[in-house]
Amino acid sequence: MDEIRVGLVGYGVAGAFFHAPLIAAVPGLRLTGVVTRDADRAADARERYGARVVADPEELWEGSDLIVVASPNRTHVPLARAALTAGLPVVVDKPFAATAADAEELTLLARSRGLMLTVYQNRRWDGDFLTLRRLLAEGGLGELRRFESRFERWRPVPKGGWRETGGPEEVSGLLYDLGSHLVDQALWLAGPVREVYCETDVRRENVVSDDDTFVALTHASGARSHLWMSAVTPLPGPRFRVLGSRAAYVKHGLDVQEERLRAGHDPAAPEFGREPRERWGVVGTEGDSRTVPTEPGAYLDFYRGVVAALREGAPPPVDPEEAVATAAVIEAAHLSALESRVVHLT
């Protein structure tokens, strides 16, 4: 296909900042349709992308070659199922699904129909994570022993909305939101998980969903992952502290791509994913460490991978089976927190 017509379901933060600009910047993709019922968002989508704006997702099926689901979490599974049933390949924003069973159902449906299905785990293309993967591949860190990873923020006053006030039916809370990234990265680096332990808390008034969560994973490889996600951390810890048998990698601060997307920067600009030197991490041992440049972040590579999958039959940029594994770990983490015990995965 010369041009892949993309229908985007949802034009909130995820759709407007994390999907639409990347779709528009990748050759071979064109954002032709957007679903939103908000008048201001509709006007923005028309002005920026010349997209047709509709109120109901089913109106996008006709005239689209690819559907991107970036709507509220509870709608991910039914909308992806409907698009696949209509014969369309699908990108689903994280979290893929509330349960591993739902995630597996979608994966099997896509496979049975010969359709591409992938999950927007964009944090695999964070510059710091790409740097960590390179350091491990080069052998400088040695054997991975402990992966400490944090998404910590200081938001003592709740913003409101379903992400904070929704119950389980909304698939809300930080364990599903930020945890989808942290668990995916841990599985990508350290492999399958044997044991899951989790602590979740609700620290702020008028909030229902978890806003301060810790997850400990024991991998089949013997490595351990400690993952923190919080909205109530006055002084955040390091984004990564990764301990290997030869050296460690310590990195503070979040990847620059999110802040630049929110600020309206062009994701195709040469400097878009490059991090300033003062934010680089450190690699080494006690008394013998050095600053290591951060690899350029590359969110565009996700949608470039989507184009390659649709045009050339390449594997999708994120295998949905990997997202099933992530959903299984998060599901086990919820159970662990509820029952205050370690959950064993087979």
Mean pLDDT for the chain? 97
User: Residue 116 corresponds to which tokens in the numbers above?
Assistant: 């591409």
Same domain, 44 and 148: no
Residue 202 lies in a domain: yes
146 and 288 fall within a common domain: yes
Shared domain for 144 and 272, answered yes or no, is yes
Domain-located, residue 207 = yes
Does 171 fall in a domain? yes
Q: Are residues 150 and 45 in the same domain?
A: no
Regarding whether 177 and 76 lie in a shared domain, the answer is no
Question: Per the domain annotation, does 319 fall within a domain?
Answer: no
Q: Are 261 and 286 in the same domain?
A: yes
Q: Is the pLDDT of residue 258 over 90?
A: yes
Q: CATH code at 127?
A: 3.30.360.10
pTM for this predicted structure: 0.96
Shared domain check, 31 and 151? no
* pLDDT attached to residue 168: 84
Residues 235 and 307 in one domain: no
Are 163 and 143 found together in one domain? yes
Which CATH number characterizes residue 31's domain?
Answer: 3.40.50.720
pLDDT tens string 49-104: 999 999 999 999 999 999 999 999 999 999 999 999 999 999 999 999 999 999 99
**Structural domain count of the chain:** 2
* Domain identity same for 223 and 310: no
Domain that holds residue 172: 123-298+328-344
pLDDT at position 1: 58
Q: What is the mean pLDDT of residues 160-166?
A: 88
DSSP bridge partners of 290: 283
Q: Are residues 25 and 162 in the same domain?
A: no
320 occurs within a structural domain:
no
At 115-139, the pLDDT tens digits run: 999 999 999 999 999 999 999 999 9
Residue 165's pLDDT band (boundaries 50, 70, 90)?
Answer: confident
Are 218 and 332 within one domain? yes
- The reply to whether 322 falls in a domain is no
Residue 208 is predicted with a pLDDT of 94
- For residue 229, what pLDDT band results from cuts at 50, 70 and 90? very high
Q: What is the mean pLDDT of residues 22-34?
A: 98
Q: Give pLDDT, residue 314.
A: 98
**SS3 category, 76:** helix
* Extended beta strands in the chain, E state: 4-9, 29-35, 52-54, 66-69, 90-93, 117-120, 144-152, 193-201, 212-219, 224-230, 240-244, 248-251, 281-285, 288-292, 343-344
pLDDT digits 0-9 by tens, 268-291: 999 999 999 999 999 999 999 999
Averaged over 23-33, what is the pLDDT?
98
**Residue 252 maps to a domain:** yes
pLDDT at residue 342 tops 70: yes
Q: How far, in Å, CA of 28 to CA of 4, rounded?
A: 6
